[in-house]
Chains A and B, each alone.
Chain A
Amino acid sequence: MSVTVMVSDLVKRYGSLVAVNDVSFSIEKGEIFGLLGPNGAGKTTTVEMIEGLRKPDSGKIEVCGIDALKQHSKIKEVIGVQLQSTTLWDKVKVKEIVDLFGSYYQKSLPTDEILEQVAISDKQDSYVSTLSGGQKQRVALALALVNDPEVVFLDEPTTGLDPQARRNVWTIVEGLRERQKTIFLTTHYMEEAEQLCQRVGIIDHGKIIALDSPGNLISTANLESAVEVTCRSEDAEAIFTNIKGVDKVSKEGNRYILHTKESSSILRELTHLTDENKLQLEGMSVRQGTLEDVFLQLTGRKLRD
């Protein structure tokens, strides 16, 4: 696989604040790469430096093998950009603006096809100013895709959207993944990173503190998971506490939560207990660690504090 975006030792300072501190990563062709971090972590600064909207103080950026800092205008043809907030002319119609943006590029996709792709065809004759937040965001996506770009930059594509609209955006991004598009996405929603990204860089205070696939990040963090189960037996708590691998048992009425790092062996043991008719167990469920927990473990803070 070839590298589509390569960023090395990127630094951006605002006065004494180091907004982006020695950030390096690369994105392979066809990959969805996510930068996950709280507000103010340096996500937007990083993505906007790659897009050419901000100048880094030092570092190197290559997009499709082109030096993005020296040959910025060449990059513009091959990238598609969705800014954190996209504002367009109020009195422009959806179809008009997609048409117009298409004319800016040497190569562009037919407007109908783009509108179809982001599911906004039914609003093509509406003024942009009359659209809902989710619809506006889909228009912004359309504009990012109009030149059939080599790499698409999505800066917090679902921030401020309701759950339904968020899911619509995810569906569109998943469609892009099927079509092997290279995507760089920033987000402060861990579900979004888990759902969409093949690899995730966790960024905090301008530094990338972890970088791997969501699954690997969670498993290498060796997180506590929890097995929840309901049991009416009197001696349940004592039995649970004695199971090997259970770190702690907490109880709410008849509902027990078994904290552990080895949820699968605990499940086996619980099944065993039921089989031997020692305990009557109901409503068993497992809660696995999430990227949120990974972030908490790495920084001691919650993602959305």
Chain B
Amino acid sequence: MKVLIRQTALEMRLFLRRRDDLFWTLAFPAFFIVLFGLIYGDTQWGPIRAIDYLLPGIIVMAVMISGIMNAATTFAEEREKGVYRRLSVTPLRKHIILGAQIISRYVIILVQTLLLLLIGILAFNISIVGNYAVFWLILTFGGLCFLAIGFSLTGLMRTAKSATPIAMIVFFFLMFLGRILFPVDVLPKALEYISNVLPATYLNDALRLIVIEGRSIGDVWLELAAIGGWMVVCLILAIRFFRWE
């Protein structure tokens, strides 16, 4: 346990020292919400304002940047450099490494989301209609789920060079089919079935139900269970296909 805490603390410190990571996880999504806010202003999409609809989507996008793009590719680069090879001849176990990575990145996701919420609330008059506790619960499920997805992909990332393309493919696949920036009805029927079971879709739907419609936890249990399912499966894959070098 002590080792897990120290390893997590180190990961956090390393993150704060890397300017690239700070830009992509904090500045870039913030820039997105500001951009959309300025473009749409108070434009209505049917019964709701565009920016109200987009905020949960941008939060999901930011979570995916953290989990799939940033965490996984950084790990693959460090692995290729031989950092984990050196660790593999110490008593440190892979569960601790993965645990520290996921916990530290989860904290970053919380900070990132808080930043987006603050911008939305202060600059664009967005409000969370539903319960804040439920919102953070959903975000926790979503954050851990996408981190698990990211680390399960590191098993496929044979080299640091292949890490970014693999992360990009998955990221854009989920961006387009996960109903992040546009609603379901623009998708063809066949793609809709795929879209329906994606973790990004569940996370989006759950967040929108709470943020926009103000539903209760009883209305999002299905989404939470599905996200949890994705998380458990990907976590098992991440541990199973963990590679030290």
Question: Which A residues fall within an 8 A CB radius of B?
Answer: 51-53, 73, 76-77, 79, 81, 83, 85-89, 91-92, 96, 99-101, 103-106, 143
A69–chain B nearest beta-carbon distance, Å: 15
Mask: chain B, 80-91; 1 = CB below 8 Å from A; 0 = not = 011101111111
Most buried by A among B7, B13, B88, B89: B89
Residues of A within 8 Å of B7, CB to CB, are 100
CA A53 to CA B86, docked complex, whole Å: 10
CA A120 to CA B85, docked complex, whole Å: 23
- Given A53-B88, A104-B92, answer yes or no on A86-B10 (Cβ-Cβ < 8 Å): no
> Is there a chain A Cβ closer than 8 Å to B158's Cβ?
no
A116–chain B nearest beta-carbon distance, Å: 22
> Is there a chain A Cβ closer than 8 Å to B2's Cβ?
yes
Beta-carbon contact of A53 and B90 below 8 Å: no
CA A92 to CA B11, docked complex, whole Å: 10
Residues of A within 8 Å of B86, CB to CB, are 81, 83, 86-88, 143
Beta-carbon contact of B3 and A103 below 8 Å: yes
Beta-carbon contact of A76 and B10 below 8 Å: no
B101–chain A nearest beta-carbon distance, Å: 12
8 Å CB contact of A100 from B10, B78, B88, B91: B10
Beta-carbon contact of B89 and A104 below 8 Å: no
B129–chain A nearest beta-carbon distance, Å: 41
Report the nearest A residue to B82, measured CB to CB. Answer: A87
Interface size on B, residues (CB 8 A): 21
Residues of B within 8 Å of A79, CB to CB, are 89
Report the nearest A residue to B3, measured CB to CB. Answer: A103
CA A51 to CA B2, docked complex, whole Å: 25
A110–chain B nearest beta-carbon distance, Å: 16
Q: Is the interface of B mostly helix, strand, loop or mixed?
A: helix
B18–chain A nearest beta-carbon distance, Å: 6
CA A101 to CA B90, docked complex, whole Å: 8
Residues of B within 8 Å of A51, CB to CB, are 89
Beta-carbon contact of B83 and A88 below 8 Å: yes
Residues of A within 8 Å of B81, CB to CB, are 87
Beta-carbon contact of B91 and A89 below 8 Å: no
8 Å CB contact of A103 from B2, B82, B85: B2
Beta-carbon contact of B6 and A103 below 8 Å: yes
CA A52 to CA B6, docked complex, whole Å: 25
Residues of B within 8 Å of A105, CB to CB, are 90-91
Report the nearest A residue to B7, measured CB to CB. Answer: A100
CA A85 to CA B83, docked complex, whole Å: 10
Residues of A within 8 Å of B10, CB to CB, are 92, 96, 100
Report the nearest A residue to B92, measured CB to CB. Answer: A104
Most buried by B among A77, A87, A105: A87
Considering the complex of A and B, which 4 residue pairs feature the smallest CB-CB distances, nearest first?
A: A91-B17, A87-B82, A87-B81, A81-B89
CA A10 to CA B10, docked complex, whole Å: 39
User: Can you give 10 contacting A-B residue pairs, CB < 8 Å?
Assistant: A51-B89, A73-B91, A77-B91, A83-B89, A87-B82, A91-B17, A99-B6, A100-B6, A103-B3, A104-B87
Beta-carbon contact of B89 and A87 below 8 Å: no
CA A106 to CA B81, docked complex, whole Å: 27
